[in-house]
């Protein structure tokens, strides 16, 4: 009886792991073109992607163990579509 209960518990745990949704791994915000890479340890770092220019990012990076990088996932913002001109 104990083996049957352990087997049922194992199967239910396995189905829970398989059915779990995948984690969102992107750390870059696609709305901003510049990210600040902040170093917290020897090989540990994180990104803050909320800057609209390199100069703005450099002001925040000043005095910290950080550097500004271009956001590889920047979507470029919304572009205006050209409407055809009508000559009357």
pLDDT at position 78, please? 67
pTM confidence score: 0.57
Residue 43 maps to a domain: yes
Let me know if residue 5 belongs to a domain.
no
Question: Which residue range(s) make up the domain with 50?
Answer: 26-74
Q: pLDDT tens digits for 31-52?
A: 899 999 999 988 899 999 999 9
In a domain, 6, yes or no: no
Q: How many domains does the chain have?
A: 1
CA separation for the pair 68, 61 (Å, rounded): 7
Sorted by sequence, the CB contacts under 8 Å of residue 56 that are 6+ apart come out as: 34
Q: Is 33 a domain residue? A: yes
Question: How many residues are listed for the chain in this entry?
Answer: 88
């Amino acid at each position: 009886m104990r083996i049957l209960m352990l087997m049922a518990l194992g199967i239910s745990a396995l189905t829970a792991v398989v059915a779990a949704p995948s984690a969102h791994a992107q750390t870059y915000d696609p709305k901003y073109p510049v990210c600040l890479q902040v170093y917290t340890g020897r090989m540990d770092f994180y990104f803050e992607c909320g800057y609209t220019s390199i100069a703005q990012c450099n002001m925040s990076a000043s005095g910290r163990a950080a550097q500004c990088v271009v956001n590889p996932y920047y979507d470029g913002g919304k572009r205006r579509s050209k409407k055809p001109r009508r000559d009357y």
